[in-house]
Amino acid sequence: MKAGIVGATGYGGIELFRLLHNHPQVETITLYSSSQAGENFEEIYPQFQGGETHILQDLEPQKMKENLDVIFLATPAGVSSSLTPQLQEGRAKVIDLSGDLRLKDASVYKQWYKKEASDGETLEKAIYGLPEWNKEQIQTADIIANPGCYPTATLLGLGPLVKEGLVKSDSIIIDAKSGVSGAGKNPNPITHFAHAQENFQIYKVNQHQHIPEIEQQLFEWNDSIEPVTFSTHLVPMTRGIMATIYVQLKKEMTEEELREKYRNYYESQPFVRVRNKGSFPCTKDVYGTNYCDIGMTIDPRTKRVTVVSVIDNLMKGAATQAVQNMNLLFQYDERAGLAPLPVYP
Amino acid sequence: MKAGIVGATGYGGIELFRLLHNHPQVETITLYSSSQAGENFEEIYPQFQGGETHILQDLEPQKMKENLDVIFLATPAGVSSSLTPQLQEGRAKVIDLSGDLRLKDASVYKQWYKKEASDGETLEKAIYGLPEWNKEQIQTADIIANPGCYPTATLLGLGPLVKEGLVKSDSIIIDAKSGVSGAGKNPNPITHFAHAQENFQIYKVNQHQHIPEIEQQLFEWNDSIEPVTFSTHLVPMTRGIMATIYVQLKKEMTEEELREKYRNYYESQPFVRVRNKGSFPCTKDVYGTNYCDIGMTIDPRTKRVTVVSVIDNLMKGAATQAVQNMNLLFQYDERAGLAPLPVYP
Amino acid sequence: MKAGIVGATGYGGIELFRLLHNHPQVETITLYSSSQAGENFEEIYPQFQGGETHILQDLEPQKMKENLDVIFLATPAGVSSSLTPQLQEGRAKVIDLSGDLRLKDASVYKQWYKKEASDGETLEKAIYGLPEWNKEQIQTADIIANPGCYPTATLLGLGPLVKEGLVKSDSIIIDAKSGVSGAGKNPNPITHFAHAQENFQIYKVNQHQHIPEIEQQLFEWNDSIEPVTFSTHLVPMTRGIMATIYVQLKKEMTEEELREKYRNYYESQPFVRVRNKGSFPCTKDVYGTNYCDIGMTIDPRTKRVTVVSVIDNLMKGAATQAVQNMNLLFQYDERAGLAPLPVYP
Amino acid sequence: MKAGIVGATGYGGIELFRLLHNHPQVETITLYSSSQAGENFEEIYPQFQGGETHILQDLEPQKMKENLDVIFLATPAGVSSSLTPQLQEGRAKVIDLSGDLRLKDASVYKQWYKKEASDGETLEKAIYGLPEWNKEQIQTADIIANPGCYPTATLLGLGPLVKEGLVKSDSIIIDAKSGVSGAGKNPNPITHFAHAQENFQIYKVNQHQHIPEIEQQLFEWNDSIEPVTFSTHLVPMTRGIMATIYVQLKKEMTEEELREKYRNYYESQPFVRVRNKGSFPCTKDVYGTNYCDIGMTIDPRTKRVTVVSVIDNLMKGAATQAVQNMNLLFQYDERAGLAPLPVYP
């Protein structure tokens, strides 16, 4: 198959390149970059030298949609909303890693992203690519809205509880922490090494654009869910997200019953691992992989549930999840090309 | 004045040494270590060479209590519970940095620390050394139970809200994050660099021994408070704690009113800084200092309050707070010897 | 094929497990651990859960050498010197990742390792597994002495210059820097996160046991070479080695001629990449891979050559190099199972 | 006294502010910034809130030189070369932390800095502010050229050997490593956290502008010295420099004799500490201080000397050394305001 990556020089694009390069079904990879077209990808990133070289291409939507089987959009917010429609009605499937096509309600997009949303038809066609919960729809989609990093960790952690209506509707608090790569490749004062190292920062309190994405899916699972509290922090590490999730149950339940719910939902999902009693994942447990590891407990003193969900923000939170979606779109083995074990230490 | 440090080679002891060395009122510092008595402190820690040398002394409680003005106990849990009584009835004041004397209820201590508590008289005499809330009692104390690192950040962040009864009694959730030095100097697999770096870990979920310490003080401020949810995480950095605190208010309040409450309590406190609207502290803002910086907001969507409280766990969470307590015990300027500005970057 | 890993719970063993798990030719992996026999590997390392489970086995040399095709020894110094002889005369090939079988001269081993060397026959049979320079011998070996991490980076960086006799015999200085994982999994004060982070340390000055290993190979290439200066430093990162190498040339040469020498030697080697003029590798360029990247320049002011050689100490410096040797031993594609592109960022 | 800091918002300026704020002799500090004039320093850096506030001022050389006692220039290369002359003939002494006034030969400056040098008179008046070697000249200077970070570590490490003519003139190699703050506050791809963390980089090989500064001083000590080899690396930490220095001796010497030379030169210098046999400093040993710690050994195999010299690049390599120079200029205690002990861990 022939794959294209738009925005190939950003963190998401780089990881897609690495993954597709190792993917058994991908024959050619074409790299696109509006800002660096004409440059040699392997000169910008000499760590990828050793095989064939790739010249960054200018975008030509007409040609792309006819010649490629799949196009990954690893672009900043505001690009794919207008680019995706131009890539329709051809041969190519589109997998968008940005937030542009995730929110069904254009006004909500505008409110949180401060940009105009894509057209209604495109938003309608875009299927939310969370494979563990949406596999069937993904398999027949033309456009995939690949989930955000925080929503992936959060929704996989909350899914069983919310889907089954076990949670008090106004009790959900998500305290999320991310490695610095989540802020993207553009250098700025917040991601300067000397500022970010030996530092722990909170940002966008109550204002992160992933909030409506989380709520949209929770609401789809259970329309009694009320707005959630969602906080984001920057950890002095490159990769990894932990979402520590607090909820109150409508009815008492034992920890075993709770864990059983999770196991029921995820036992057939190759990339979600539910931990045993007393074991909680750390972010390194999923480093460089498509795994989401989930631990949980109920505090006998407060009756509150704590769910701990970890992913690699650039992998299950972006690039490997996009490849997982590609695998589903093209009826490959869901695990094809997704290296199964994490690097340690 | 003559000061002694017991447990001088641990992280708390080292910082106490550094601080007392710079303190304008301290004339002599005697260092004690049961495991390394006889060794030269400046050979173990060559970074402190350049002035006089200190030989680590064996403990001699009788002599210590007569010859010293103040004794800092920077010892592991279980030591000061029996050592402190032996240091009474002499000239010396005792400032205990361990958790042994903080909990008034011996059975609660035993439950969370898995050790026998100190005797009732000692527990009774020990004054909880949180100067911003307890200054008068501290000034006349013989024994100070220096607060734990997490409780310091948490209690300073919650004080005004709980003291005034503004918070729904069962709504308090504290998601706390600490640098690795909080785990102490003894090497173990969790604090091995190759494991802890590029990693974010959760630990002791619902089981941290600082929970009863927090609840004891909250309850003293407001006896309607119910058990809190308190989570602890390990951040790949050496120093710093951030407590992200979530509460629901009994009655609606504007963010300005909320901030005003904090300012009222803390405007006369030299080491607590309340941030302006929209500004939240990061841990580096207090690195190496005795400051606690506090930011806050109310989410208009959920009505929930988020309070962000940061300290340096080894400073306001241990050594500088101990010196602040010493200053109060001896009627020195509360700020004496406490370097006022953080190192940056 | 059937593979066994002795010392499976150490850093080298863990990486071997991950690599063999992904290797197309490896059917079964048996894990051995003398200290943790009987335990479940996937419970010790929950990040590897998701597939089959492995119980750590006690060593049974007789059975191992008959049932296994290849045995990797990822053991501390002093183990394989006595274990390897017990694994001979069977079906299994042995790849030893420790330093026990690298030095041909038993007295040199004893001098630098402070232990007794293996027997003469075993030392004789052990082939130094640096594939870029020793491929033919490796292919027919029974025992491979897998090179040390520092020697790998150093020797690949010095090979063309020394082999061709271009270097002044007493002018070689290697200033080497390693990530902390090189110190192994056992926690100690030097590798404690709070000590190693935000710190740069020099250690074993002029006394590192890799010095004789480097000199032995240099001498084999060119017996006029005199003792080298070799320094080792600990970098606050988990993985990666950079060797900055300084030499003086016997005769003047242009930088282009120099680079050409390197290209001649390495153009057919899939895992050594020679950088273009003005480009120097950083350790992240080879993170998680079997690559060794080499940059070089000649200072017109001093006429001194600087060669910069980087590897991932746990990969080309240990586990992937061992798999590369396995591939050669069994006539597989040299690149089989060795992920070709580095993770970035 | 009245102090001014030009370039107050850069890393050097921030540290100067912190130091002068704690300095017993400094009454007022005025902060200047051409790019952020009019802004509130404590709003840009909320970590400094708690005392008086400072509005960043526009440069007014005429007024500054009349009203201030000392002016620190913490500006990028190319600023002080033209600003310093405008600050002459008034009351103020000038301490320049940039490289503009360090090189006596204008053509050398131009060659390495790619900018025009300052005028000859200013260059002539500027005294190289390395107090351990230049105290007398400093005390009567009007302009101090504060040494660069790398030259400070290097020259203190080489001084005794070169001054006494013990070193083979063409044998000096300096392999230097620095924390990321040395690259300054402006964000760029090299200092992006996600790139710099878990990475070790070499840069400006043989081309660093500190090379002529080092050679100028070495030559002044001993005019037979030939060009040196000097390499610079970026360590994934914020602060700290280690210079690992290799030299060959003209005549054999014991390690004891060597150490004695260093002790003779530095025993009266409060900020240089010579380590005992077998002890080598790490960068954390001088974190946040004005110390330079020096260890050394002679390799019996190669006869080569290894000297290890560490400083905090923002302190002894910039801000504290500038304050040390101020103390000398104004006949204060050389140690005034310079916190004597390093933060650990």
Q: Give a three-class secondary structure readout of chain D.
A: CEEEEECCCCHHHHHHHHHHHHCCCCCEEEEECCCCCCCEHHHHCHHHECECCCECECCCHHHHHHHCCEEEECCCCCCHHHHHHHCCCCCCEEEECCCCCCCCCHHHHHHHHCCCCCCHHHHHHEEECCHHHHHHHHHCCCEEECCCHHHHHHHHHHHHHHHCCCECCCCCEEEEEEEHHHHCCCCCCCCEHHHHCCCCEEECCCCCCHHHHHHHHHHHHCCCCCCCEEEEEEECCCCCEEEEEEEEECCCCCHHHHHHHHHHHHCCCCCEEECCCCCCCCHHHHCCCCCEEEEEEECCCCCEEEEEEEECCCCCCCHHHHHHHHHHHCCCCCCCCCCCCCCCC
CA distances from residue C175 to B312, C18, C205, C244, D200 in whole angstroms, order as listed = 36, 31, 10, 5, 13
Would you call C275 and A46 a contact, using CB atoms and an 8 Å cutoff? yes
Q: Read off the tokens for C62.
A: 């007789």
Give the model's pLDDT for residue D51. Answer: 87
Interface contact C240-D297, CB threshold 8 A: no
Nearest to C334 by CA among C342, C324, C343: C324
pLDDT for C339 equals 73
The residues on A that touch D, with CB distances below 8 Å, are 11, 179-181, 185, 187-189, 191-194, 196-198, 236-238
Q: What is the pLDDT of residues C332-344, one digit of tens each?
A: 999 999 977 999 9
- Residue A129: which of A318, A271, A3, A294 has the closest Cα? A318
pLDDT of residue C51: 87
pLDDT of residue A51: 87
CA distance A254 to chain B (A): 16
* Gap between the Cα atoms of B119 and B54, Å rounded: 33
How do residues A184-235 score in pLDDT, each as one tens digit?
A: 999 999 999 999 999 999 999 999 999 999 999 999 999 999 999 999 999 9
Q: Given strand B292-298, what is the order of strands in its sheet? A: B201-203, B229-235, B173-179, B241-248, B304-311, B292-298, B272-274
Helix axes A106-113, A210-221, angle to 10 degrees: 150
Interacting residues of B260 by C-beta distance below 8 A, sequence separation 6+: none
CB C18 within 8 A of CB C31: no
Number of CB pairs < 8 Å for A and B? 138
> Which chain B positions have a beta carbon within 8 Å of A177's beta carbon?
177, 200, 233
> Catalytic residue positions of D?
149
Q: Which residues of chain B have pLDDT under 50?
A: none
Q: Which of A11, A180, A192 sits opposite D191 (nearest CB)?
A: A192
In terms of CA atoms, which chain B residue is nearest residue D17? B341
User: How far is D128 from chain A, CA to nearest CA, in Å?
Assistant: 28
* A339 has pLDDT over 80: no
The segment(s) of chain A belonging to CATH 3.40.50.720 are: 2-146+318-329
pLDDT in tens, A34-47: 999 999 999 999 99
Calculate what percentage of chain D has a pLDDT beyond 90.
Answer: 99
Find the angle CA(B129)-CA(B130)-CA(B133) to the nearest 5 degrees: 125
Q: Do C279 and A46 touch (CB under 8 A)?
A: yes
Chain A residue with the nearest C-alpha to that of D181: A194
Q: How far is A154 from chain C (nearest CA, A)?
A: 19
Mean pLDDT value across residues A79-107: 98
Chain A residues whose CB is inside 8 A of the C49 CB are 273
Taking residues D235-250, what's their average pLDDT? 98
Do the Cβ atoms of C14 and A344 come within 8 Å?
Answer: yes
pLDDT tier for residue D255 given thresholds of 50, 70 and 90: very high
Cβ contact, residue pair D200, C194, below 8 Å: no
Cα distances from C292 to residues B156, C55, C289, in angstroms, run 52, 34, 9
Of the candidates D36, D69, D102, which has an alpha carbon nearest to the alpha carbon of residue D318?
Answer: D102
Which chain A residues touch B280 with a CB distance below 8 Å? 202-203, 205
**From the candidates C117, C149, C307, C314, which is the catalytic residue?**
C149
Token duo for residue A25: 């079904």
Tell me, what's the pLDDT at D344?
Answer: 96
* pLDDT at site A239: 98
The CA distance from C74 to C146, in Å, is: 10
Residues A198, B297: C-beta atoms closer than 8 Å: no
Share of chain D above pLDDT 70, in %: 100
| Count of other CB atoms within 10 angstroms of residue C221 | 17
Minimal CA separation from D315 to chain A, in Å: 15
Closest by Cβ to C284, choosing from D198, D206, D287: D198
Check A94, A149, A242, A292 and give the catalytic one.
Answer: A149
Least Cα distance to D80 among D115, D43, D131 occurs for D115
State the pLDDT at residue C29.
Answer: 98
Average confidence (pLDDT) over A283-312: 98
For chain C, list residues with pLDDT below 70.
none
CB contact under 8 A, D238 and A197: yes
C149 annotated active-site = yes
Identify the band that residue D296 occupies on the pLDDT scale cut at 50, 70 and 90: very high
Average pLDDT, integer, range A247-260:
98
- Whether residues C284 and A47 touch (CB distance < 8 A) is answered with yes
B302, A229: Cβ pair inside 8 Å?
A: yes
As a whole number, the mean pLDDT across chain B is 97
Is the preceding omega at residue A345 within 30 degrees of 0, hence cis? yes
Of B281, B291, B341, the CB nearest to D18: B341
Residue D70 pLDDT more than 80? Answer: yes
In which residue ranges of chain D is CATH 3.40.50.720 found? Answer: 2-147+317-329
C150-311 CATH, one of 3.30.360.10, 3.20.10.10, 3.10.20.600, 3.40.50.300: 3.30.360.10
Pick among D47, D193, D235, D238 to test the A interface (most A CBs inside 10 A): D193
Do residues D327 and B8 make contact, with C-beta atoms less than 8 angstroms apart?
A: no
Q: Which fold has domain B2-146+318-329?
A: Rossmann fold (3.40.50)
Cβ–Cβ gap A236/B240 under 8 Å: no
Against chain A, the chains showing at least 3 CB pairs within 8 Å are B, C, D
Say which of A194, A197, A297 has its CB closest to residue B205. A297
Task: Kindly report the length of chain D.
Answer: 345
The CATH T-level fold of domain D2-147+317-329 is Rossmann fold (3.40.50)
With H, G, I as helix, E, B as strand and everything else as coil, classify residue C144.
Answer: strand
* pLDDT on residue B340: 78
According to DSSP, the residues that pair with A55 across neighbouring strands are: A40
For residue D72, what are the β-bridge partners? D5, D95
Nearest residue of chain B to residue C11 (CA atoms): B194
Q: What is the pLDDT of residue B339?
A: 75
The Cα-based distances of D17 to A189, A236, C298, D145, D329 in angstroms read: 20, 26, 42, 19, 18
Using CA coordinates, name the residue in chain C closest to B189: C187
Residues of chain A with CATH 3.30.360.10: 150-311
Active-site residues of B: which are they?
A: 149
User: What is the distance between the alpha carbons of residues A59 and A63, in angstroms, rounded to a whole number?
Assistant: 9
